[in-house]
Amino acid sequence: MDSAPAEDFYEVYWHGEAIGDGGDLQEALACYVLVKPDDGDWAVACAEAGADPHLERHASFEAFLDNEDALETIAVTARMIEAAVAQAPPAASS
């Protein structure tokens, strides 16, 4: 009996820090809403020195928990963030 293949797991980075994660690419990219620039200009925010928005793709959540190396690093563009944030559900207000 074959088991289902493991699902990818993504860790989200901004300015060298992990800011979130997701079980799929869209969910991971939506984490950038946490660091949305006040003026909404993602192009400027992404171009800022040290921003380096990227994702690390792991084979699975379990691989991530086991500290296995990422399968790849995915550079994230302002356009990718804008599209994901626009599709994300509104954040709950405090």
Phi first, then psi, for residue 19 (nearest 5°) are -115, -5
How would you classify the pairing of strands 17-22 and 9-14?
A: antiparallel
Percentage of the chain modeled with pLDDT above 90: 82
Query: Residue 87 — very low, low, confident or very high, per pLDDT cuts 50/70/90?
Result: confident
Q: Is residue 92 part of a domain?
A: no
**The total number of structural domains that make up the chain:** 1
CB 76 within 8 A of CB 56: no
69 is written with which tokens? 């190396």
Q: Is residue 57 part of a domain?
A: yes
Domain range holding 18? 9-87
